[in-house]
Amino acid sequence: MSVYFYGCISLDGYLATKDHDLTWLYESGTTESTGYDKFYEKMDIVMMGRKTFNEILKVGQPYQFYPKTKNYVFTSDTTIRQKGFEFINQDVVEFIKTLDKNKNIWIVGGNTLVAPLLDHDLIDVMYIQIAPVLLGEGISLFTQKAQLKRYELKKVHQYDQFAELIYYKK
């Protein structure tokens, strides 16, 4: 099993504005100019938190974005129903340990899932795209506990105005 983070941040390291808005990102470019499609083809499972899921709902039907993967949303409200998604009220670290070891897992969105997975050394690869935008404040990608984590830079790509850095766990 490999666990991937794939996401975009501002130049100053934020995933979203402090009120979870992603308009700045949508105005910066589209996935068509990136390696998103090639990345998604390698994924078997998609996992996200409720706030990320809510942002995807604003853009359209979530299933259209993740049609070929098994999709999980971590939330305390498991009464929600959405085609193609399963809603989980469980610790992400414990849940990920139950998944098929031959699957590729994509962590979508924010630090609610990323931080505990980093704390338990469970993210193997990070695709971090950087948009040419300074937000000044917002929601940081990295909020894990203060302990040293080392990753190795494997690839750098430029997609229009976006820089993509691909890191592997050492």
Q: What is the pLDDT of residue 38?
A: 92
For the beta carbon of residue 45, count every other beta carbon within 10 angstroms: 19
**Amino acid letter for position 148:** L
Rounded to an integer, what distance in angstroms lies between the CA atom of residue 8 and that of residue 18? Answer: 15
96 near 107, Cβ under 8 Å? no
Strands 2-10 and 70-74 come out as unpaired
Stated length of the chain: 170
Query: Nearest to residue 107, comparing CAs of 98, 117, 99, 97?
Result: 117
126 near 64, Cβ under 8 Å? no
Q: Could you report the average pLDDT of every consecutive run of 10 residues in the chain (170 residues)?
A: 95 92 85 84 96 86 91 92 94 96 94 93 96 95 87 95 95
Q: What is the pLDDT of residue 66?
A: 94
Q: What is the pLDDT of residue 11?
A: 96
In degrees and rounded to multiples of 5, residue 61 shows phi and psi of -75, 120
3 near 96, Cβ under 8 Å? yes
Rounded to an integer, what distance in angstroms lies between the CA atom of residue 74 and that of residue 115? Answer: 14
Query: Nearest to residue 104, comparing CAs of 69, 75, 151?
Result: 69
For the chain, domains (ranges, CATH) are: 2-169 (3.40.430.10)
